[in-house]
Structure 1
C-alpha cells in the first residue's frame, strides 16, 4: 500500500488541474463568444474567426470532463442491477467494470497517440490565426493516461460500494454542525 497512497494523491492533484483546465476552456469559449456578440452589437458585422476558435476547445472540455467524472464516480453504471446481485457477484462485476475502464483507457492511449502523431492538418481559424490539429488531438492520449491514473482509487470509483445511508447521515451531521453557533 506504500505506492498507492502517493499515486492516489497524484490522481487527486491531477484531477484538480483537469478541473481548472476545463473551467479555463469554458471561460475561453465564453469569452470568445461574448467578444463576437459585443463586436456584432457595436459594429453590425461579424468576426469570422470566433466560432472556429471557440469550437477548438470542445474536445478538451469533453475528454477532460470524462476523466473528472470517472474520478468522482459519475460515470454510467447499472447500480440497481448490480446491487441486486450477491456480494461476491458485485465484486466480480466491479472488477470487470474497472478492467473495461482500464482497457478503454489503454485504447485511448494507443489509438490516441497514433491520432496525435498523424495529425498534420492546420485549422485555418482566420487568415492570421492558424492552429495545428495536434492541439486538439493530444487530449485523446492525455485523457487515457488520466483515466489509468484514476484507476488507482479502485472500487472507490464505483458507486456500487457507496452506502447511501452513511452518506445521508454524514450530510445531516455536517448540516447540523453548520447551524450550531
Structure 2
C-alpha cells in the first residue's frame, strides 16, 4: 500500500497536466482560427494554412480528454445494469471492466509506440510551415501510458461503487454548508 499512495498522487498530477494541455490546445486552435478571421476581415483574402494547422491539435484534445474522462469515471458504463447485480458479481464485473481498460491502455501503448516510430511523414501546412507527423503520433502511446497509470486508482475509476444515498447526502450537506455561510 505504501507504493500505491504515491502512484495515485502521480496519477492526479498527470491528470492535471493533461487538463492543462487540453486547454492549451483548445486555446491555440482558437487563436489560429481567430487570426484567420481577423486576417480575412482586414485583407479580404484567406490564410491557407490556418485550418490545416489548427486541426493538428485535435488528436491531442481527443486522446487526452479520453484519459481525463476515465480518471473521473465519465466513460461509457452500464451502471444501472451493473448496480442491479449482487455485490460479488458487481465486484467481478468491475474487475473485468478494469482489466479491459488496462488491456486497451496497453494496446494503445504497444501499437501506439510502433505508430509513433513509423511516423516519418511531414505535414505540409504551408510552404513555410511543416510539422512532423510525430507531433500527433506521440499522443497515442502517451494516452495509453496515462490510462495504465490511472488504473492505480482502482475501483474509484468506476461509478459502480458510488452509494447514491451518501452522494446525495454529501451534495445536500455541501449546499447547506454554503447556504449557512452566506449573510
Aligning the two structures, in what range does the TM-score lie when normalised by the shorter sequence?
Answer: over 0.9
* Partner residue, 1:10: 10
Deviant stretches of 4+, over 6 Å:
none
Cα deviation code 1:41-94 (max 9, x no counterpart): 111100000000000000000000000000000000001111111110010000
Stretches of structure 2 lacking an aligned partner (at least 5 in a row): none
Computed over aligned residues only, the root mean square deviation of the Cα atoms, in angstroms, reads: 0.6
* Partner residue, 1:41: 41
Residue correspondence of structure 1 range 128-167 to structure 2 within 5 A: 128-167=128-167
1:162, 1:133 → 2: CA distance? 42
- Give aligned pairs, total: 181
Residue correspondence of structure 1 range 12-91 to structure 2 within 5 A: 12-91=12-91
Q: Report the more deviating stretch, 160-169 or 8-17.
A: 160-169
TM-superposed CA distance for 1:180, in Å, is: 1.4
User: SS at 1:180's partner residue?
Assistant: helix
Cα deviation code 1:140-176 (max 9, x no counterpart): 0000000000000000100100112111111111111
* Partner residue, 1:120: 120
User: SS at 1:57's partner residue?
Assistant: helix
* Partner residue, 1:95: 95
Cα deviation code 1:100-139 (max 9, x no counterpart): 0000000000100000000000000111000000000000
1:20, 1:80 → 2: CA distance? 32
1:95, 1:167 → 2: CA distance? 22
TM-score w.r.t. the length of structure 2 is 0.98
